[in-house]
Structure 1
Amino acid sequence: MRKIIIASTSTLYNGAYLDYLLPTLKKHFENVKTLLFIPYARPSGISHEAYTNKVKAAFSNLNIEVKGIHEFENPIEAVQHAEAIFTGGGNTFVLVNELFKNKILDTIEKVVKNGTPYLGTSAGSNICGLTIGTTNDMPIVYPPSFRTLGFMSFNINPHYLDPVENSEHMGETRETRINEFHQFNPQPVLGLREGSWLEVKGTSIILKGNLTARLFKRNENPIEVEPETELNYLK
């Protein structure tokens, strides 16, 4: 059975790394002793080791040991034998490029669909949808494909921001960009606000957290989705 947490962000304002998710992660990773961390969303010039150490500190609160995938000679085998997997945030284009480069995108998809618990935050959540076409990141590298893990039949827009009332900013809003996406792509897009996440168990996909999410469907007006709503119907 699939066990997946898809979070908008790793850190809330004035909070510690993953702090707001720890009660959920304690249940999600129950009986997990060692976690495989994928730091590929950070460019290699920014230390994967330092990023992994940050994750180690957070998971020490759950008595879970963390190993970075960069510590293994064979990334494919590391994924195949992982008790659980966490893909952190950063740049989604860099992340997907590295997943293809190391030939582990399909392996992650396979093991998670077979029951390996997975956590994604930010970029690590972007890759849970059908494509990365609704990421907020700059395409600083160009991966072979925008195709991602396809754990659900819609796309994610993490860190979703509403227009600020009375703002003098005249640039495009997040909603404008998603509407542009729908001129060329049919799948729904779920805007996840900070502090919200999706909990996937088997075929069930439930919105969690205290905030609504913004759901965009092609040729329809966007709607607000309440926490605890089942979203497995989206296609």
Structure 2
Amino acid sequence: MRNLVIASTSTLHGSGFLEYLLDELALFFKDAQEILFIPYARPGGVSHDMYTLKANEAFEKIGKKVVGLHTLARPAEGIKKAQAIYTGGGNTFVLTNQLYKFNLLEPLREGLLNGTPYLGTSAGSNICGLNIKTTNDMPIVYPPHFEALGVVPFNINPHYLDPTPGSKHMGETRETRIKEFHHYNTEPVVGLREGSWLKVNGETVVLKGHLSARIFEQGKVPYEVDSGTNLEFLNQ
């Protein structure tokens, strides 16, 4: 039974790390005293220790302790025994490469499908999808595969941005990039705007937050879904 919070971002403009989600997370992690943190995405190249410290400072506000996966001698066992898991943002290719390197993708998938509470933000949300082909990140390392956890039946595009009216930007929009993806791939894509998240509970995948999400399906005109919508209909 899936029990996930898949969020577009860890930090909204003008707020602290995870601050906008803390009330939700206090309820979500109510039965866990300790949260296993996967720091592999390393935003900006920050060390695993420093990233774990940042996560711990946030979770202390709701009475939770954070342990970095990188500190465990047997990380796969740590995942299997975890009361709850959080995977932070950063570079999705770096994160995916590390999960494959340490043979952690399968234990993580199994834990999530069996109900271990899981929070993902940004890169940690990307890996919940079918593959990581719709991440915004540069491929600075080359993981063995692009296949991801597949614990939701679609891909995710965190930090989804709409074109700015009157902008002189000459590059491709986010929508154009996802349309390019659908020339070669069939997986649906959920564009998650900042401050939005998906609450996954069993068979339901419900959009949360104050904003709509943009849905892309191969061969269809992109469309909006309102907060509160169950996205399980995207199951191929």
Residue 24 of structure 2 aligns to a residue whose secondary structure is helix
**1:20 maps to what in 2?**
20
**2:54 maps to what in 1?**
54
Alpha-carbon offset, residue 45 of structure 1: 5.7
**1:87 maps to what in 2?**
87
Equivalent-residue separation in structure 2 for 1:171 and 1:45 (angstroms) = 26
Equivalent-residue separation in structure 1 for 2:99 and 2:108 (angstroms) = 9
- Asked if 1:210 is matched to 2:210, the reply is yes
Alpha-carbon offset, residue 153 of structure 1: 1.1
Q: Encode CA deviations 1:99-148: one digit per residue, 9 max, x unaligned.
A: 00011011000011111000000000000000000000000000000000
**1:170 maps to what in 2?**
170
Alpha-carbon offset, residue 24 of structure 1: 0.8
TM-score (norm 1): 0.98
Equivalent-residue separation in structure 1 for 2:143 and 2:31 (angstroms) = 35
Do the aligned partners of 1:43 and 1:94 also contact (CA within 8 Å) in 2? no
**1:148 maps to what in 2?**
148
Do the aligned partners of 2:216 and 2:222 also contact (CA within 8 Å) in 1? yes
**1:36 maps to what in 2?**
36
**2:6 maps to what in 1?**
6
Equivalent-residue separation in structure 2 for 1:45 and 1:56 (angstroms) = 18
**1:113 maps to what in 2?**
113
Equivalent-residue separation in structure 2 for 1:52 and 1:13 (angstroms) = 21
Equivalent-residue separation in structure 2 for 1:28 and 1:113 (angstroms) = 16
**2:133 maps to what in 1?**
133
Letter in 1 for 2:162: D
Equivalent-residue separation in structure 2 for 1:45 and 1:139 (angstroms) = 14
- Asked if 1:229 is matched to 2:229, the reply is yes
Equivalent-residue separation in structure 1 for 2:98 and 2:43 (angstroms) = 9
Alpha-carbon offset, residue 31 of structure 1: 1.5
Do the aligned partners of 2:44 and 2:90 also contact (CA within 8 Å) in 1? no
Equivalent-residue separation in structure 1 for 2:67 and 2:101 (angstroms) = 20
Letter in 2 for 1:53: L
Alpha-carbon offset, residue 46 of structure 1: 2.9
Residue 142 of structure 1 aligns to a residue whose secondary structure is coil
Alpha-carbon offset, residue 198 of structure 1: 0.1
Q: What RMSD, in angstroms, separates the aligned Cα atoms of the two structures?
A: 1.1
Residue 183 of structure 1 aligns to a residue whose secondary structure is helix
Do the aligned partners of 2:93 and 2:137 also contact (CA within 8 Å) in 1? yes
Residue 214 of structure 1 aligns to a residue whose secondary structure is strand
Which runs of no fewer than 5 residues in structure 2 stay unpaired? Answer: none
Do the aligned partners of 1:215 and 1:222 also contact (CA within 8 Å) in 2? yes
Alpha-carbon offset, residue 43 of structure 1: 7.3
Residue 231 of structure 2 aligns to a residue whose secondary structure is coil
Which runs of no fewer than 5 residues in structure 1 stay unpaired? Answer: none
Deviates more, 1:42-51 or 1:79-88: 42-51
Letter in 2 for 1:211: L
Write 1 or 2 for the structure with the bigger share of helix: 2
Equivalent-residue separation in structure 2 for 1:134 and 1:47 (angstroms) = 25
Task: Decide whether aligned partners of structure 1 residues 212 and 48 sit closer, same or farther in structure 2, where only a CA change above 3 A counts.
Answer: same
Equivalent-residue separation in structure 2 for 1:40 and 1:122 (angstroms) = 13
TM-score (norm 2): 0.98
